Structure 1
């Protein structure tokens, strides 16, 4: 069964990017402690959903589109460039139709809500977010882009797993 998963790294004080959408705080840790865990997660993904800010960051900083031909929805009101060979669809409005299309395209695999926090919050508010997989990094920013900028109280989250990744810790929460 397809699950909608918000898989993300966060500072211990709850930020996923600095005030300028930078990730230097995260990139300083490298990938050595996370690569195998990340590859296992990515193998379970059949479709992606992300916001325009995250999409533009990946295109600018990622050295090419890292997600191959995975069907991807970018929530935006703008027209943006599409890398060659990528299956990118642009959408705006309520996330319900995007969620339905992404689930169908995922072919029984999971849908990764990459980010940012507002995208995950929209899926949560629409009742379409099943899990949060948050890797807390051992650093604090004091301010920046929040992990989950909700406008109402969330349902109680149930902790279903904890994995130590070097000095970081991944918490897996089930929604509801």
Structure 2
């Protein structure tokens, strides 16, 4: 069964980027401890959803579109470029129709809500997020872009798995 998952790295104090949307705090760790784990996760992904800020960051910093022809939805009110060979669709408004379309396109695989936090929060508040996979990195920022900027207290989440990745720890939470 397809799951909608928010898979993300966070600082210990709950930020996914600094106040300038920079990820230097994360990139300093390299990927050696994470590559195999990420590849297992990504092998189960059939569709992507992300916000415009994350999309623009990937285009700017990613060295090309890293997701091939995987169906991708970008939540935005603006016109943005589409990389050659990418299957990118732009959407605005409620996330439920986007979630439905992404699940259908995923064809039995999972939907990765890449980010940012506001996108994941919209999915959570709409009851359309099944899991949070948060890798806590051993660093604090003090301020920045929050992991999950929800409008109200969430219901308790169920911790279903913990994985050590070098000095980092991934927590997998099931949404009630």
User: Which TM-score band applies after superposition, normalised by the shorter structure?
Assistant: over 0.9
Alignment of 1:74-85 (within 5 A): 74-85=74-85
Give the alignment's TM-score, normalised by structure 1.
1.00
1:84 to partner: Cα distance:
0.2
1:2 to partner: Cα distance:
0.6
Alignment of 1:33-112 (within 5 A): 33-112=33-112
Query: What corresponds to 2:125 in structure 1?
Result: 125
Give the alignment's TM-score, normalised by structure 2.
1.00
Query: What corresponds to 1:139 in structure 2?
Result: 139
Residue 172 (structure 2) pairs with residue 172 (structure 1) = yes
1:97 to partner: Cα distance:
0.4
User: How many residues are matched?
Assistant: 176
Distance 2:119 2:171 in 1: 19
Detail structure 1 runs of 4+ shifted over 6 Å in the superposition.
none
Distance 1:126 1:108 in 2: 21
1:156 to partner: Cα distance:
0.9
SS of the equivalent of 1:119 reads helix
SS of the equivalent of 1:174 reads strand
1:153 to partner: Cα distance:
1.2
SS of the equivalent of 1:89 reads strand
SS of the equivalent of 2:120 reads helix
Residue 157 (structure 2) pairs with residue 163 (structure 1) = no
SS of the equivalent of 1:122 reads helix
Distance 2:97 2:175 in 1: 20
C-alpha RMSD over aligned residues: 0.3
Distance 1:149 1:72 in 2: 22
Distance 1:97 1:162 in 2: 32
1:78 to partner: Cα distance:
0.3
Query: What corresponds to 2:24 in structure 1?
Result: 24
SS of the equivalent of 2:133 reads strand
1:155 to partner: Cα distance:
1.3
Distance 1:155 1:106 in 2: 27
Q: Give unpaired runs (5+ residues) of structure 2.
A: none
